[in-house]
A and B are shown apart, each in its own frame.
Chain A
Amino acid sequence: MATRNATWRVWAVIGGIAIGVIVIIARLVQLQIIDHEEYRQQATLNHLRQLPLYDQRAAILDRNGYPLAASEYTFDVYVEIDAWEDPIAAEQAAREIAKITSTYWGSLVNVVSETDVFEVPVVRGLDYEQSEAVKALNQDGVRLIRTSHRVYPEGNLATQLIGITGTDNIGLTGLEDDYNSILGGVEGSITAEVDALGNPYALGQQSTIPAQPGSNIVLTIDRYIQRLAEQQLDKAIKDHDATGGTIIVVQPKTGEILAMVSRPAADLARPDLSDESKLALLRNRAITDSYEPGSTFKLVTMAAALDAGEVYPDMWWDDLGVVHIDGWAIRNWDLSAHGSQTVTQILAKSLNTGAAWLSSLLGPERFYEYVHAFGFGEQSGISLSGESPGLVRTPENDPGWRLVDTATNSFGQGLSATPLQMVMAVAAIANDGLFMQPRIVREIAGATNIEFEPEPAGRPISVETARTLREMMGVVVNGIPEYLLDVQGYEVGGKTGTANIADGNGSYKDNAYISSFVGVAPLDDPELAIIVKIDEPQDVPWGTVVAAPAFGEIVQESLAYLKIPPGPEALVSAAE
């Protein structure tokens, strides 16, 4: 009996041990086989630390290689707060650093005393010489971290176009934002084996994936013409006490933007982002803001009527001073009636009644076909974000559309366009009717190399129509007094515009206008198409007075700069 009990107890112990072993084995199987991957990842996370690596942000260059925005290495001084625990030692160390960095030592000490993190930057943005001087101090708990920041060798040139970056060197607005991945390159990483406190082992495993440098962006912008446009815009705004404005200069044969400027604008080096009104200064109004183009749009109406074969330059018509459509009366800007006029004089005298007559000859369907063919009502496709498509109301897209809208649209009211759309339409006229895709980036150069070629985007009108229209634009300019527009040595063409400003409630602001001028130069073989748009001038509203002089100045200097010879009568022989 006793032996049987003993045997039972032995088997019970053996059975208990066996069960325990089985449980342990099962747990080991779970840990090492079933959940192996999960625990392996946890272990990796525990003893490996990964830090991101960034290369320097690439540059934005003008078409000739001059940097408009570039990066520069700078150094930040970091202090371990434990090292500056003793006030006397901290003051002495801070005084030495402050002497090199031209800062106040007290503020350095305050930065350290007011934080509870392990290490804090006390001075940022030192140049190499200063960093070497701080390094030579050999202070305990003080180290230098190399960083990079944006510099603008040309100052505030093309502010809204270039845009700004944040302190982490990420693009926030403009091209810096739109081309952030190209300029910023590819992030790398450094992976190191660390101990329980996160300190790397001296001989531990370490691997580095180097950051890939960004590629530089070569713009179509020419810094000389850009600066010229900015100076002329500033002058026009100042002379006429205007609220802002835009100038765009385009090469019609390629669609390349040589200058694009809007005012008001922000300071690139010290942008103020404190409120919405300051943020608005970073908006590229040349593409984001649409306006009613006014009489400059008569060029589009005239192009359509000529191309459709409805009229020719010397064709006569009778201006009665008013056109009645659907019970609405369309009148000229000066409320006058001019009697018998040629079609050319519709442009030369900027007759609203004439434009309305042209649109009635075309009819709404053909009129809007031409309007769309010139790129209105849709984004131009320029590689910039935030572009407005403008607004063209047609019978198809707006149930509230009425026949009188065609008439008002014909002289640029009741529809909206961006300055870029307007100048590209004129560029198509300058380019013998061939509409080119507008371009702001010419080339991406660096780790990635892409060269962009000029790209035709349609032909709204024939070569003959474009040439005829250019001659008519020349007649318009000939009617402008020389003291307002006189380009010596070159023949130019253009059209003025004075437009009401919509108030957003279906009406127009009182006594507020947009004065503009669009033109081409030289007239026989245009190399430039330019729009000058001035917002709400306070003295006079007329585009002839407010905008045309800036056009003349830009053309005069730009053509000489581009080495485009003037007409033979303006040349002086080198042999003389």
Chain B
Amino acid sequence: MATAPKAKAESQIQGLLRPENLPVVLTIAAMVVGIAALLPLLQSSETTSTAGNILQLENEKAGWQTQLQELELTVAGMGSLDHIERESRRRFKMTTPEEVVYILVDSPPPQARRIPSRYFAQDETAETGTGSSIWEDLVGWLPFPWD
């Protein structure tokens, strides 16, 4: 049963290798080899441009982090007791009380301020695996029977 297609395929290959078809076959083969030779270059350039993009994004990230830190410290400075007292006196005309009155209220006190999350350990379990190479991608595109 399986010998018929095999014999047909062999006769087709022999047909391609006839002298009149040989130049075409060789040209196609040369083109395939040439394209295959370009693939590493393609992969290299893709890697380089990806690395460049990563570097640029890292620089952007560093810039944002720096600005974020500056803002956080500005907030911390504005929340400092000296600043609060100064602004209370200047903007709201508040003064030190002459008499203190204690009132017992039937509600819980506000929660204590929590420590900002950036002061805790960061989760370092981000994905660090390498992506597939262009060869792996290419092999993935081909319709191999074991796919």
Alpha-carbon separation in the docked complex, A73 to B104 (Å)? 46
For the complex, is A146 an interface residue (Cβ under 8 Å from B)?
A: yes
**B102–A571 contact, CB under 8 A?**
yes
Instruction: Give residues 41-82 of B contacting A (CB, 8 Å).
Output: 62-63, 65-67, 69-70, 73, 76-77, 79-82
Binding site for B on A (CB under 8 A): 58-59, 61, 64-67, 70, 72-73, 127-128, 132, 146, 151, 153-155, 215-216, 218, 223-224, 227, 445-447, 449, 488-489, 556, 560, 563, 565-566, 570-574
Pick the interface stretch among B8-16, B114-122, B126-134, B135-143.
Answer: B114-122
Picked from A70, A218, A571, A574, the residue with its CB within 8 Å of the CB of B76 is: A70
For the complex, is B5 an interface residue (Cβ under 8 Å from A)?
A: no
**A216–B119 contact, CB under 8 A?**
yes
- Contact residues in B for A556 (Cβ distance below 8 Å): 100
Tell me, rounded to whole Å, the shortest Cβ–Cβ distance linking A183 to chain B.
12
**B104–A155 contact, CB under 8 A?**
no
- Taking A65-B119, A153-B79, A223-B81 as given, write out 4 further A-B residue pairs in contact, using a Cβ cutoff of 8 Å, ordered by the A residue number: A72-B70, A153-B80, A445-B120, A574-B106
Tell me, rounded to whole Å, the shortest Cβ–Cβ distance linking A468 to chain B.
29
Picked from B63, B82, B120, the residue with its CB within 8 Å of the CB of A154 is: B82
**A128–B66 contact, CB under 8 A?**
yes
**A128–B109 contact, CB under 8 A?**
no
Interface size class of B (residues with CB under 8 A): 20 to 34
For the complex, is B101 an interface residue (Cβ under 8 Å from A)?
A: yes
For the complex, is B6 an interface residue (Cβ under 8 Å from A)?
A: no
For the complex, is B90 an interface residue (Cβ under 8 Å from A)?
A: no
For the complex, is B112 an interface residue (Cβ under 8 Å from A)?
A: yes
Tell me, rounded to whole Å, the shortest Cβ–Cβ distance linking B32 to chain A.
29
- Contact residues in B for A127 (Cβ distance below 8 Å): 70
With A155-B80, A570-B102 as known contacts, state yes or no: A445 contacts B119, CB within 8 Å. Answer: yes
Q: How many A-B residue pairs have CB under 8 A?
A: 86
With A72-B69, A153-B77 as known contacts, state yes or no: A446 contacts B120, CB within 8 Å. Answer: yes
Tell me, rounded to whole Å, the shortest Cβ–Cβ distance linking B106 to chain A.
7
- Contact residues in A for B69 (Cβ distance below 8 Å): 72-73
7 CB contacts below 8 A, A to B, read: A65-B115, A73-B65, A154-B82, A445-B119, A446-B120, A488-B100, A560-B100
Chain B positions 95 through 113: 1 when the CB is less than 8 Å from some CB of chain A, otherwise 0: 0000011111110010011
- Contact residues in B for A151 (Cβ distance below 8 Å): 73
Tell me, rounded to whole Å, the shortest Cβ–Cβ distance linking A226 to chain B.
9
**B63–A128 contact, CB under 8 A?**
yes
| Listed residue (A58, A64, A67, A445) with the most chain B CB atoms within 10 angstroms of its CB | A67
Alpha-carbon separation in the docked complex, A66 to B106 (Å)? 28
Alpha-carbon separation in the docked complex, A560 to B102 (Å)? 8
Alpha-carbon separation in the docked complex, A560 to B70 (Å)? 34
- Contact residues in B for A572 (Cβ distance below 8 Å): 101-104
**B121–A565 contact, CB under 8 A?**
no
**B70–A128 contact, CB under 8 A?**
yes
By Cβ-Cβ distance, the 6 closest A-B pairs, closest first, are A65-B115, A153-B76, A73-B66, A216-B119, A128-B66, A153-B77
Query: Of all chain A residues, which has the CB nearest B63?
Result: A128
- Contact residues in A for B79 (Cβ distance below 8 Å): 66, 153
Alpha-carbon separation in the docked complex, A540 to B69 (Å)? 49
